[in-house]
């Protein structure tokens, strides 16, 4: 829960809170879909739960929406977070149908636990420098991350974007002076878009989806560190057929189109 | 009525007892699970890791500072709140709502709110940076501020309860003996509510110790500077669940230790 | 009568000013109005049924509730604009309202303490008062460990140790067990006489009024219905309440 919030939703959240404070309870409309449960197969709504890495947030919102259009009886519930946390939750028995990780080790831990087989890499990502709109600290390259007078945020090394960042920085011989090591890439991006840090390393897809509040700066050798995103339907999925269909959809041509648009590379 | 008097006083009706036990189970069972699943064999090695010790020291230091700040600001605020009973309805309710907000606000949102106030581009933070070159986020001070934000209501409400149950006439008696308002507060009000203040401080400290969302959002997460025990535990969950559980146990042990240690000496119901 | 004689003849008692009050107070819907003058050494008892506004009247004189209108002065000094801590009025509260967290010694030393004495000096200054009111053996006790009579003595010592010009007593006997009231009433009368300043007592008991006061003011539903010496009231009761009250309490 803590790890699924997104910068663009913060304003909404604050507005909702304000409304709740002023007007009493904010009603939680709807709830999970109808549980008619009595008859037939075709009209019976199926709900699948997808755990996806935080960096997939925008792309998967779109993919899920398209998938639901193609399968009107299916509802896709998305939960985003740090891949390691999600893997941990799956290992502890979270009722999940599909897992999409931002790196291979978390997926491997799920496979090792016997909860998934044959994960497929469906997307790749590379890192990019990100600065607040207007680049107030005049950041030009990776070397600036070593400047202790600049405010720098990185992902913690325990999460995939942090591991990738560390690898890239080591390759480039940069000793970064971070002011904070965040728990997921979206948290890093929030700090940048609020202008609290001068520079950070995030996935290029995050820069693209963050909109106008941040600017990306290409890192020349970023392609040398490629993050690979595996996806798998889980072995004890409640809706195995639908889960498999969703995985195929994401890894297929339609999924590729969407992922391209959000800046993810092909496997 | 005759039937009820046949019961020994203090015995609970069975539905109450059953629900009370269920309530206790809700609180205790997760903790038991945590203890049962803890990597006891590896614990000695885990607990002396540099990262763990750094987080422990930071957490303790900041929670103590936050508690001190809460005492200085919270006791007067509680006095104001207790005294506000004579106010018109609207300002009284607004005051109470203002004190309650951090309790209902998701801490992460609280952290964002603090950034919007005290961050570099925040309402106050931008001025602080411009005039004094002072920036607050990503400092240990920011950890303390985040902890104060979330834990202050606990102290305020504990002290307010004590103030309400204290006999206000003792304050009047002190005034007739020549005590100024400040002396009344210092020599009568404060000692009378001391048990409530102590209870509030303990709650405040434990809440500050466990604070996560507002801290990671407002203060960030840097080992030794802003990475407190709960944040370290959360991050460890990504790669090393054993360490995460060890950190959680440490947090639990410290909190329980504080609660038990202070219980008899400071909490209400001692005198008399 | 003996009370006034003793005060007049005592010689040692300092010359103290009189109390003048002409006040109106609002308590919810009720308005309470009364005017009275009290000379030093001639205690006044305000007597009346429950809810008549007696205690509110006393609190208004002490500055503990605001006046709607009127004035209060001690001698030539107007005090109605002053906060309670600057009025020079000592109060013995109903139930005594001792400071529960302080020992008997520190209760009595309180006034000296808040006037700036160091703790040791304030405690030393309190010692004669402890002696005088027979509290020396109880000095280290907490109020919760005192009997009603002991608590009354502490409350009186605490108020008088502040060296007030005027003493107000709110139902001083009501917290005491019935068996010891007569004894305590006589003791209290002695202490009030020794104090010698203007004294106002609130009670609903003619026996208290008889033992402790020279004159009586009857307050009913916020209004003064009769005033005078108890004998005068007895001779010609102005209201049914006065008549009933005095009938229930034989001379």
B56 and B250 Cβ atoms separated by less than 8 Å: yes
> In this structure, are A219 and A232 located in the same domain?
no
| CA of C100 vs chain B CAs: smallest distance (Å) | 8
Question: Which whole-number Å values give the CA distances from A59 to A164, A223, A259, C93, in the listed order?
Answer: 20, 21, 6, 75
Section B92-98 average pLDDT: 92
Residues of B in contact with C159 (CB under 8 A): 176-177
Which of these ranges, A131-140, B76-85, C39-48, C61-70, has the smallest mean pLDDT? Answer: B76-85
Say which of B169, B187, B191 has its CB closest to residue C97.
B169
Q: Of B101, B135, B239, which has the smallest distance from its Cβ to A84's Cβ?
A: B239
Buried-exposed string B37-64: b where 16+ CB fall within 10 A, e elsewhere: ebbeeeeeebbebebbebbbebbeebbe
The pLDDT confidence band at residue B266, using thresholds 50, 70 and 90, is low
Q: Which residues of chain B have a CB within 8 Å of the CB of C100?
A: 170, 192
Question: CA-based angle C58:C64:C67, to the nearest 5?
Answer: 75
pLDDT at A99 over 90: yes
Based on the domain organization, do A137 and A12 belong to the same domain? no
Q: Establish if B227 touches chain A: CB-CB under 8 angstroms.
A: yes
Per-residue pLDDT at B9: 61
Mutation site, A13, A154, A158, A197, interface B, largest B CB count within 10 A: A158
- What are the respective helix, strand and coil percentages of chain A, to the nearest 5? 45, 20, 35
Residue B8: its pLDDT value, please? 58
User: How much is the pLDDT for B20?
Assistant: 94
Q: What is the 3-state secondary structure (H, E, C) of A5-36?
A: CCHHHHHHHHHHHHHHHHHCCCCCCCCCCCCC
Q: Which of A21, A84, A196 sits opposite B115 (nearest CB)?
A: A196
Quick: pLDDT tens for C85-139. Answer: 999 999 999 999 999 999 999 999 999 999 999 999 999 999 999 999 999 999 9
Give the pLDDT confidence of B185-207 residue by residue, as tens digits.
999 999 999 989 998 999 999 99
Q: Does B179 touch chain C (CB under 8 A)?
A: yes
Q: What is the mean pLDDT of the segment spanning C226-244?
A: 92
Please say whether the beta carbons of A54 and A188 come within 8 A.
no
Which residues of chain B are within 8 Å of residue C115 when distances are taken between CB atoms?
178
Residues forming beta bridges with residue A80, ordered by sequence position: A52
Strands A120-125 and A180-182: unpaired
Contact of B120 with B135, CB cutoff 8 Å: yes
**pLDDT at position C25:** 94
Whether the CB of B19 is below 8 Å from some CB of chain A: the reply is no
Tens-digit pLDDT profile for residues A65-97: 999 999 999 999 999 988 888 998 998 888 999
Domain CATH number, residue C63: 3.40.50.300
Sorted by where each starts, the structural domains of chain B and their CATH numbers stand as 43-262 (1.10.3720.10)
pTM of the predicted model over 0.90:
no
From CA B234, how far away is CA B248, in angstroms rounded?
A: 9
- Shortest CA gap A184–chain B (Å): 9
Q: Say whether both A237 and A219 belong to one domain.
A: no
Residue C136 is assigned to a structural domain of this protein: no
Q: Is residue A266 part of a domain?
A: no
Which chain B residues are closer than 8 Å to C146 by Cβ? none
Evaluate whether residue C123 is within a structural domain: no
CATH number of the domain that residue A212 is part of: 3.40.190.120
pLDDT band with cut points at 50, 70 and 90 for residue A24: very low
Residue of B nearest to C162 (CA): B177
C-alpha gyration radius of chain A? 19
| Candidate from A151, A178, A183 with C-beta closest to B235 | A183
Kindly list the partner chains of chain C, i.e. chains with 3 or more CB atom pairs below 8 Å: B
* Within-domain flag for C195: yes
**Residue A114 and residue A49 share a domain:** yes
Residue range of the domain that includes A203: 127-224
If you measure CA to CA, which chain B residue comes closest to C61? B176
Q: Give residue A54's pLDDT.
A: 87
Is residue A124 within 8 A of residue A204, CB to CB? The reply is no
Is C133 a member of any domain?
no
Top-confidence residue, A5 or C205: C205
In a domain, C184, yes or no: yes
Mean pLDDT for chain A overall: 83
Q: Is the pLDDT of residue A158 over 50?
A: yes
Band the pLDDT of C41: cuts 50, 70, 90: very high
pLDDT category, A37, cuts 50, 70, 90? very low
Q: How many Cα neighbours within 13 Å face the side chain of B39?
A: 15
CB proximity B180 to C under 8 Å? yes
Q: Which of B176, B191, B272 lies nearest to residue C90, judging by beta carbons?
A: B176
Find the domain containing C18 and state its range. 3-99+163-247
- Cβ–Cβ below 8 Å for A158 and B235: yes
A154 phi and psi angles, rounded to 5 deg = -130, 160
Checking if the pLDDT of C151 tops 70, the result is yes
Q: Any chain C CB within 8 A of the CB of B86?
A: no
Contact residues, chain C, for B175 at CB < 8 Å = 63-64, 83-85
Which long-range CB contacts under 8 A does B131-139 form with residues at least 24 apart?
Answer: B135/A151, B137/A196, B137/B218, B137/B219, B137/B220, B138/A151, B138/A179, B138/A180, B138/A196, B138/B219, B138/B220, B138/B222, B138/B225, B138/B226, B139/B219, B139/B225, B139/B226
Collect all residues of chain A within an 8 Å Cβ-Cβ radius of residue B105: 17
Chain B contact for C146 (CB, 8 A cutoff): no
Q: What is the pLDDT of residue B46?
A: 85
Q: According to the model, what pLDDT value does residue B258 have?
A: 82
Whether residues A116 and A11 fall in one domain:
yes
Minimal CA separation from B160 to chain C, in Å: 18
3 state SS for chain C: CHHHHHHHHHCCCCCCCCEEEEEEEEECCEEEEEEEEECCCCCEEEECCCCCCHHHHHHHHHCCCCCCEEEEEECCEECCCCCHHHCCEEEEECCECCCCCCCHHHHHCHHHHHCCCCHHHHHHHHHHHHHHCCCHHHCCCCHHHCCHHHHHHHHHHHHHCCCCCEEEEECCCCCCCHHHHHHHHHHHHHHHHHHCCEEEEEECCHHHHHHHCCEEEEEECCEEEEEECHHHHHHCCCCHHHHHHHHCCCC
**pLDDT bucket at A49, cuts 50 / 70 / 90:** very high
Nearest to A88 by CA among A74, A99, A76: A99
Q: B172–C64: do the CB atoms touch at under 8 Å?
A: yes
Given this model, what pLDDT does residue C211 score?
92
C5 — pLDDT class (breaks 50, 70, 90): very low
pLDDT at A221: 87
Cα distances (Å, whole numbers) of residue A38 to A34, A35, A241, C157: 11, 9, 20, 84
Q: Chain A: residue nearest B137 by CA?
A: A196
- Give how far B70 is from chain A: nearest CA, Å: 24
Q: Give B187's DSSP letter.
A: I
- Same-domain status, A97 and A135: no
pLDDT over 90, % of chain B: 60
How do residues B161-178 score in pLDDT, each as one tens digit? 999 888 889 999 999 999
User: Is A5's CB within 8 Å of B108's CB?
Assistant: yes
User: Do the Cβ atoms of C114 and B172 come within 8 Å?
Assistant: no
Residue A250 lies in a domain: yes
Q: What is the pLDDT of residues C165-224, one digit of tens each?
A: 999 999 999 888 888 888 889 999 999 999 999 999 999 889 999 999 999 999 999 999
Q: Would you say residue A177 lies in a domain?
A: yes
Whether B108 contacts A2, CB under 8 Å: yes
Query: Which pLDDT value is given to residue B68?
Result: 97
Tally of domains within chain A: 2
Segment 8-37 of chain B within 8 Å of chain C by CB: none
- B191 contacts C101? CB cut-off 8 A: yes
CATH number of the domain encompassing residue A244: 3.40.190.10
Whether residue A129 is predicted with pLDDT greater than 80 in this model: the reply is yes
Per-residue model confidence (pLDDT) at position A67: 95
By Cβ distance, the residue of B169, B176, B192 closest to C101 is B192
Please give, rounded to a whole number of angstroms, the shortest distance from the CA of A178 to a CA of chain B. 8
Domain match, A218 and A91 both: no
Interface contacts (A, B; CB < 8 Å): 89
Do C208 and C202 meet the contact criterion of CB atoms below 8 Å apart?
no
Q: Could C114 and B183 be called an inter-chain contact, meaning their C-beta atoms sit closer than 8 Å?
A: yes
Judgement on whether residues A168 and A99 belong to the same structural domain of the protein? no
Average pLDDT of the segment spanning B40-49: 87
Does the residue C110 lie in any domain? no
Closest-approach residue (CA) in chain B for C158: B177
Q: How many domains does chain C have?
A: 1
Residues of B in contact with C91 (CB under 8 A): 173, 176
Average pLDDT, chain B: 88
Per-residue confidence band for A45, with pLDDT thresholds at 50, 70 and 90: confident
Determine whether the interchain pair B173/C115 forms a contact, defined as Cβ–Cβ distance below 8 Å.
no
Q: Are residues A167 and A249 in the same domain?
A: no
Q: Residue C48 contacts by C-beta under 8 Å, 6 or more apart in sequence?
A: C54, C204, C218, C219, C220, C241
| Residues A241 and A153 grouped into a single domain | no
* Average pLDDT score over residue span C151-155: 94
**A267 occurs within a structural domain:** no
In a domain, A37, yes or no: yes
State which residue of chain B sits closest to C94, comparing Cα positions: B169
Q: Please compute the mean of the pLDDT values over residues C220-229 and round it to a whole number.
A: 94
pLDDT confidence tier of residue B183, bands split at 50, 70 and 90:
very high
Do at least 3 CB pairs under 8 Å connect C with B?
yes
Would you say residue A66 lies in a domain?
yes
Establish if C63 belongs to a structural domain.
yes
Q: Are residues A52 and A109 in the same domain?
A: yes
Domain match, A86 and A158 both: no
Name residues 21-50 of chain A within 8 A of B (Cβ).
21
Contacting residues of C for B194, CB less than 8 Å apart = 101
Q: Give the per-residue pLDDT at B272.
A: 32
The answer to whether the beta carbons of residues B208 and B150 sit under 8 Å apart is yes
């Amino acid at each position: 829960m803590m790890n699924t919030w997104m910068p663009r939703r913060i304003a909404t959240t604050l507005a909702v809170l304000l409304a709740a404070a002023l007007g009493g309870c904010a009603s939680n409309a709807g709830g999970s879909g109808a549980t008619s449960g009595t008859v037939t197969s075709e009209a019976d709504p199926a709900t699948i739960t997808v755990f996806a890495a935080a960096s997939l947030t925008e792309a998967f919102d779109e993919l899920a929406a398209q998938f639901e259009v193609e399968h009107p009886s299916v509802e896709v519930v998305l939960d985003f977070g740090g891949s390691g946390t999600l893997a941990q939750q799956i290992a502890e028995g979270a009722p999940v149908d599909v897992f999409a990780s931002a790196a291979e080790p978390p997926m491997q831990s799920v496979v090792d636990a016997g909860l998934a087989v044959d994960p497929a890499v469906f997307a790749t990502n590379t890192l990019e420098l990100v600065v607040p709109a207007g680049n107030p600290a005049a950041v030009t390259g990776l070397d600036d991350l070593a400047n202790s007078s600049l405010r720098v945020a990185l992902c913690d090394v325990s999460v995939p974007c942090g591991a990738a960042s560390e690898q890239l920085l080591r390759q480039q011989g940069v000793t970064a002076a971070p002011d904070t090591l965040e728990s997921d890439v979206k948290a890093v991006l929030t700090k940048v878009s609020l202008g609290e840090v001068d520079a950070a390393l995030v996935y290029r897809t995050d820069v693209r989806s963050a909109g106008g509040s941040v600017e990306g700066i290409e890192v020349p050798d970023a392609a040398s560190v490629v993050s690979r995103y595996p996806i798998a339907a889980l072995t004890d999925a409640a809706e195995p057929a639908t889960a498999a269909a969703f995985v195929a959809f994401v890894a297929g041509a339609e999924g590729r189109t969407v992922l391209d648009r959000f800046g993810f590379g092909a496997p | 009525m005759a039937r009820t008097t046949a019961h020994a006083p203090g015995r609970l009706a069975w539905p109450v007892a059953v629900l009370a036990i269920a309530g206790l189970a809700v609180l205790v069972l997760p903790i038991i699970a945590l203890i049962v699943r803890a990597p006891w064999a590896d614990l000695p090695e885990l607990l002396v890791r540099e990262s763990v010790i750094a987080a422990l020291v930071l957490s303790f230091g900041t929670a103590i500072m936050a508690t001190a700040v809460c005492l200085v600001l919270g006791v007067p605020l509680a006095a104001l709140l207790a005294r506000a009973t004579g106010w018109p309805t609207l300002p009284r309710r607004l005051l109470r709502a203002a004190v309650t907000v951090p309790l209902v606000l998701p801490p992460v949102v609280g952290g964002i709110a603090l950034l919007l106030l005290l961050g570099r581009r925040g309402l106050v933070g931008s001025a602080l940076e411009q005039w004094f070159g002072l920036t607050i986020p990503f400092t240990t001070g920011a950890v303390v501020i985040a902890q104060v934000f979330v834990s202050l209501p606990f102290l305020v409400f504990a002290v307010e309860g004590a103030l309400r149950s204290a006999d206000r006439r003792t304050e009047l008696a002190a005034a007739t003996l020549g005590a100024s308002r400040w002396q009344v507060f210092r020599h009568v009000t404060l000692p009378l509510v001391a048990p409530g203040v102590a209870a509030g401080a303990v709650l405040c400290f434990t809440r500050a110790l466990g604070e996560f969302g507002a801290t990671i959002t407002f203060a960030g997460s840097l080992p030794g500077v802003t990475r407190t025990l709960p944040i370290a535990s959360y991050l460890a969950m990504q790669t090393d669940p054993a360490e995460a559980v060890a950190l959680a146990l440490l947090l639990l042990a410290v909190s329980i230790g504080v609660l038990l240690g202070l219980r008899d000496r400071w909490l209400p119901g001692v005198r008399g | 009568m003996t009370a006034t004689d003793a005060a007049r003849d005592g010689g040692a008692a300092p010359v103290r000013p009189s109390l003048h009050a002409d006040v109106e107070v609002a308590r919810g819907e009720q308005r309470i109005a009364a005017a009275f003058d009290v000379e030093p050494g001639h205690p006044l008892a305000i007597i009346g049924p429950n809810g008549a506004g007696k205690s509110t009247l006393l609190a208004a004189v002490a500055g503990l509730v605001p006046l709607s209108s009127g004035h209060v002065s001690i001698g030539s000094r107007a005090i109605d604009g002053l906060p309670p801590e600057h009025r020079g009025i000592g109060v013995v509260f109903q139930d005594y309202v001792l400071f529960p967290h302080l020992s008997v010694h520190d209760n009595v030393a309180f006034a000296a303490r808040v006037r700036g004495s160091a703790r040791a000096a304030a405690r030393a200054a309190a010692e004669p008062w402890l002696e005088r009111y027979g509290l020396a053996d109880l000095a280290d006790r907490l109020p919760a460990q005192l009997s009603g009579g002991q608590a009354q003595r502490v409350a009186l010592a605490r108020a008088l140790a502040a060296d007030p010009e005027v003493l107000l007593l709110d139902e001083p006997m009501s917290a005491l067990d019935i068996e010891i009231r007569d004894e305590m009433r006589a003791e209290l009368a002695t202490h009030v006489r020794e104090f010698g300043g203007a004294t106002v007592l609130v009670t609903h008991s003619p026996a208290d009024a008889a033992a402790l006061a020279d004159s009586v003011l009857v307050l009913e539903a916020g209004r003064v219905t009769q005033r005078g010496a108890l004998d005068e009231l007895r001779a010609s009761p102005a209201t049914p309440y006065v008549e009933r009250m005095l009938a229930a309490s034989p001379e």
